[in-house]
Amino acid sequence: MPKSKVPAHVVKRDREGLIRCRVCGCTENDACPAGCSWYDLDLCTVCRAVVVAIAEWTDAARHVNRAALWREVGREVRGEVFSIRRGRQRSAA
């Protein structure tokens, strides 16, 4: 038995028959921009890293507020900062 808990029929494939990541949809020919490989049959390493991080957060956080977390992700993506931090640019090295 393969280690994957996902039944084979759930695995999604693109038009060329290449397996798609079950989270982000990347394939062998269309990998994540950051570069990824397969962690599981149909789960790429980029998505796996996020799953692990969120699982750790779920265990560690006082209150697991997914909506608030998602808002934070949006802020991060859009580069928004709270007014208290305004003026202090994130050091981008």
Q: Which residues bind Zn ion (CB under 5 A)?
A: 21, 23-24, 26, 32, 36, 44, 46-47
Least distance (Å) from Zn ion to the CB of residue 41?
12
Identify residue 9 by its one-letter amino acid code: H
Least distance (Å) from Zn ion to the CB of residue 9?
19
Least distance (Å) from Zn ion to the CB of residue 4?
14
Of 39 and 69, the one with the shorter C-beta distance to Zn ion is: 39
Of 29 and 91, the one with the shorter C-beta distance to Zn ion is: 29
CA distance 43 to 5: 11
